[in-house]
Chain A
Amino acid sequence: MAKVKLGLAAAALLACTAATVPPPARDLPANALVIATTGQLAPVLRKVAADLEHRRPGVRVLVEPVGSDVAMSDLFTHRADLAIIGRAAFDPELKAFQWIFQHPAAAWPVLEGSSSAAGHSAAVRVLVNAANPIREISVRQLDLIFRGGKPIYWRDLGVAGALGERSIHPIMPDTEQGSGRFIRQALFGDATLFAWSRVKEIAEPIHRDGSDDRLNKRLAAAVARDPQAIALASGAAAGTRTVPLECPVCDPSGVIQRTVYAYSDPRLRPDANAFLRLLVTETEDRLIDPAPYRQLPPQAAAELLKRLR
């Protein structure tokens, strides 16, 4: 009798501690590779998909332009095999995957962004009004302008004349959204505290597939209207009344460049592996039109191909 009671008690306690919730089953066509991505990346991925389908009859690839954040949700809910996005995944997105699958997602850097076209995972641009004579700026100066405790004047950056006596009006994308977050990660060590008494943020419109470029146009327009303005943008964004500054972050080959990542389960399906290999080894000419991304540098491409072997 005592043994029965022990068994019942133990069973009851184990019922309370039965912890593991299994990951969701793959909710996709068995014979199709499903890729969730952004509106900007979809054209180039579709070209690679068509190439793969041509080379490997029987393989079917579905490319779904849903935006980076939804793409990551599709991945961790098992509604996509690959999420290919124009940024590094955010911490909660990676946590979500790990908590569900009990191992981290694999991150494969597959392309680089371009600085030559707006809205294509581009590098940071610094814009001033066309009437402003300044032509270069350092990251330290940007930090003082956007985060420093004291107001900064254009004379502090070497600008003479009437403009030099005026304060700088810093503008950046909403620091909570994609481009603003990328900029604060790239330039400011992911800081969240800025000189709010002078920094103006411009919100990023929410678009179903993430292909909207109104943000960069708004930033450029704000700089065009205000001779005292300086704006951080992610993309070309320069117009006739604005000028991009020379700076380390503006150099297309510079260290701060957006990378396009593919996220997946580390145990890649064979068709996903083949897709990534093809994406990385496609000739650059094929990628330039219609989506101006750039191939990985040769060493990075070689390392990725080694990982995919």
Chain B
Amino acid sequence: MISAIALLLGMQSAAGAESPAVHMWPAPSPVALQTVASLPPYRPRARVSGHIVIWGHGSATRDFMGPLIRRWSAEFRRYQPGVTFENRMYGTSSAIGGLAVGGGNIAILGEEISPDAERMFERARGYKPTKVEIANGSLATNYFDYAHQIFVNRANPLARLSLQQLEEIFGAEHRCAPRNIRTWGELGLKGAWANRPIHPYSWTTDEDFALFLRERALCGSHRWNPATSEVHPIQKPDGSQYDLGQQIVDRVARDPLGIGISNQRFARPDVKALPLAWSAKGTYVAATDASLISHQYPLVRIIPAFIDRRPGQPADPAVAEFLRFILSREGQAALIEQSGYLPLDAKEADEAQKWLR
């Protein structure tokens, strides 16, 4: 029977789809399960009805968001049978556009909103879209916004970094930090290291992954350190892509003066990921499921849903109720079982509802 199903899946794969259940995300970790169990259950605040069209993260060929959307919709309809759903999860690039021109009610992004998309929405509607945070990104699962990690060469004695130091290294405008850092000595390294220049490596600085670091570490500045080496798509001789995250780690492995932004999916023995802290006096932690959920690790990705809510006006009742459901124990349980994301903890889930009250 298994081989028959595998054959069937093979046929499906040939048609361009993959089974999320088979290999797209790992089983929920104990800390994720505990977090979800601590959340308050969904209690309808009002009986609502309507048709909710969801645009956002997804793909026509890899249905990594479909199972989650279907489960959220089906479970929500047990409480609110008057609400129907329409899935327009074509990908993040179209999500804010769908919302801006009135084609949808919720845009769930697979990354931070781009400045272009935000400007486009504002041009179309006359105000900014409203953000509701609905999940944490994964530790290291592809398609599910894995955390950013800072790598240095294994030979480098640097042991940790604060978010402020990241801005000083990778930025040039230092909106939050007081200065630029351009040598290893400015990070406290002594001896031969002190006067050596820092060689930063990053994703292309105006594309999705770097947009996150810009928001989180550079205080929104697009003025990156001009000495930053950006990596660009490279096709390998076998036709596959040389992953950008792998390129960054490989370059740090070859360059003792390098520092790069990547993820542990691409780690190798000759590099090390640094523990990070929100501030110099904070707690320095490595990226783990627990430190991501608690937001102790500063470079956790946070998954936003955007809605069209006119300033000073309440959100659409059905949309607000559905988002409250997503933020509940039931919604977050579905999230960790049907996707690779991590749940919000009780504090974050409560905070996320401020626009919905």
Contacts and interface: CB of A to CB of B under 8 A. Distances in A.
B103 A192 contact: no
Contacts of B115: 176
B1 interface: yes
Given A6-B4, A10-B8, A19-B60, A24 B88 contact: yes
Given A6-B1, A19-B60, A66-B124, A92 B21 contact: no
Contacts of B88: 21, 24
Contacts of A66: 123-124
Nearest to A2: B1
Given A16-B19, A17-B12, 17 more contacts: A9-B1, A10-B8, A17-B9, A17-B18, A18-B66, A19-B59, A21-B88, A24-B103, A70-B101, A92-B93, A92-B116, A96-B91, A97-B94, A147-B226, A194-B223, A196-B173, A208-B126
A30 interface: no
A77 B114 CA distance: 19
A186 interface: no
B124 A95 contact: no
10 contacts: A5-B1, A10-B5, A13-B12, A17-B17, A69-B123, A70-B100, A92-B116, A97-B94, A193-B205, A206-B119
How many chain A residues sit at the interface, stated as a range, is 35 or more
A21 B90 contact: yes
Interface-central residue, A92, A176, A194, by most chain B CB under 10 Å? A92
A74 B100 CA distance: 9
Nearest to A70: B124
A10 B101 contact: no
Contacts, number: 148
Interface in B100-118: 100-103, 114-117
B311 interface: no
Contacts of A6: 1, 4-5
B222 A192 contact: yes
B61 interface: yes
A196 B59 contact: no
Interface in A11-46: 13-21, 24, 27
Interface string A162-202: 00000000000001110000000000000011111100000
Contact of B21 (A16, A19, A69, A79): A16
B123 A208 contact: yes
Contacts of A208: 123, 126
Interface string B48-63: 0000000000111111
B85 to A, nearest CB: 12
Interface-central residue, A9, A18, A73, A79, by most chain B CB under 10 Å? A73
Contacts of B117: 92
Contacts of A207: 123
Contact of A19 (B66, B103, B124): B66
A193 B63 contact: no
Contacts of A177: 119
Interface in A85-108: 90, 92-93, 95-97, 99-100, 102
A166 B159 CA distance: 44
B58 to A, nearest CB: 7
B297 to A, nearest CB: 27
Contacts of A175: 222
Contact of A76 (B4, B61, B94, B206): B94
Nearest to B226: A193
Interface in B54-106: 58-63, 66-67, 70, 87-91, 93-94, 96-98, 100-103
B354 to A, nearest CB: 26
B103 A79 contact: yes
Given A2-B1, A17-B18, A92-B116, A192 B206 contact: yes
